[in-house]
Amino acid sequence: MNTIERALIHGLFVHMHHNIDRVIDFQAFRRLNEQVGKVWPGALLIGPEKNDDAAVFQVPGMDGYVVAKMESHCSPCVPRPYDAAATGAGGAMRDVVAMGGRPVFLLDFIGTRPLDQEVIVGPCGFAGECTCGECRVMTSGERLNIIIQGLSDMCRAMDVFVVGGGLSTSFSDIVPAVVVSVFGRLITEEPLTKPAKNAGDKIIIIGVTGNDGNDTLYRAGLVEEMRPALALFDNEREAMEAALAAFATGKINACSDLGAAGIGAAVCESARYGGLGARVDLTEVPVSVQGITPQEVLICETQARYVVQVSPDSVDEVVSAIRAKTDHVAVIGEITPGEEETFEYDGEVVAVIPNRPSEEVLRSLGAGR
């Protein structure tokens, strides 16, 4: 097991972002929802136990379905409050899109220190004292305005209403709370769920990959500097319109947005949840940075990206629909009948991720199972 495999397996099977069910009993929610479903039959299509990109439900008495997702971007707001708030909102919007929806409404909650207290914004923010000379000292109120601007600018770029939210200035922690909920309208006939459906389906990426959002690599010690994901407003809108154009073909079998751990997580989770494997050629991924490493292509969390899966005979139609909205599209691999995901770059294997790592491997990564 090489270092990049350790980093991705840790992210997929140990890190809490991808393993919320370890601390939250989703089956308790399922039992609750089944009980409430007797009052509102058929109202909930996809709930928390599905572990998909977003929830899908119907408001009783109304036509159509609603797609909803809550997202937080708290820690990234310490070094880069503007980009972190914007990408938190953008990430929740992408989750809505990935289910086959178009985002329409946003609610936000911000919790921060009293508005007159000083905070450090920059790389040393977590330490509470700047030693790099690049940080800014400002009041909590000034940082609040920056966070709100980031949220607002993403909503403006995506034509999403801000319809309400909440604010608390009683937080004492260095890290502010920045949480958004996004609601949209399902525009596909059925939700586009994450699990892979068929061996042989082709994997198509929408969007361009950079080396920002390298948190997983940083935690694994593979890079010296943590670079939070940048807000890419024009790219975000372009990628959404391209994804919606792909959906309009009616040929999408599975879809995921690229969030935490990027291409690696999106492909591995889709294949594993579908009981299948995958093979991906990272050389085919459109990139925006010269000299980007295969590891960065695999794991970085650059915004404004999706992966969709289509049958081989639908590739040309779907790629053509996407190209009408963006040049950033490529076929990067396919779903396989195996039990692992293989990632290659320039003919060399970069990582092989099993669907079921051994208990020994998980213990070595601190899984505590």
Q: Which domain holds residue 356?
A: 202-364
Q: Is the pLDDT confidence value at 369 over 50?
A: no
* Same domain flag for 210 and 340: yes
* Same domain flag for 241 and 348: yes
**Residue 17 falls inside a structural domain:** no
In the structure encoding, which two tokens stand for residue 338, read together?
Answer: 């195996």
Q: What does the pLDDT read at residue 49?
A: 87
Give me the chain's average pLDDT, please: 94
The pLDDT of 99-121, averaged and rounded, is: 97
**Residue 47 φ/ψ region, left for φ over 0, alpha for ψ in the -120 to 50 degree band, beta for the rest:** beta
User: In percent, how much of the chain has pLDDT > 90?
Assistant: 84
**Boundary (domain end) residue, out of 186, 218, 235:** 186
**Residue 177 falls inside a structural domain:** yes
**Boundary (domain end) residue, out of 153, 186, 219:** 186
pLDDT tens per residue, range 6-65: 999 998 998 877 788 888 888 899 999 999 999 999 999 999 988 899 999 999 999 999
The pTM assigned to this predicted structure is: 0.95
pLDDT tens per residue, range 285-298: 999 999 999 999 99
**CATH number for the domain harbouring residue 91:** 3.30.1330.10
* Same domain flag for 182 and 206: no
**Residue 23 falls inside a structural domain:** no
Q: How do strand 118-121 and strand 177-186 relate by DSSP bridges? A: unpaired
Locate all alpha helices (DSSP H) within 21-60, ordered by sequence.
26-37
**Residue 79 falls inside a structural domain:** yes
- Tell me how many domains the chain contains: 2
Of the candidates 87, 20, 95, 16, the residue with the CA atom closest to the CA atom of residue 53 = 95
**Residue 332 falls inside a structural domain:** yes
pLDDT tens per residue, range 216-239: 888 777 877 778 889 999 999 999
* Same domain flag for 250 and 216: yes
**Residue 240 falls inside a structural domain:** yes
* Same domain flag for 73 and 132: yes
Q: How far apart are CA 110 and CA 108, in angstroms?
A: 7
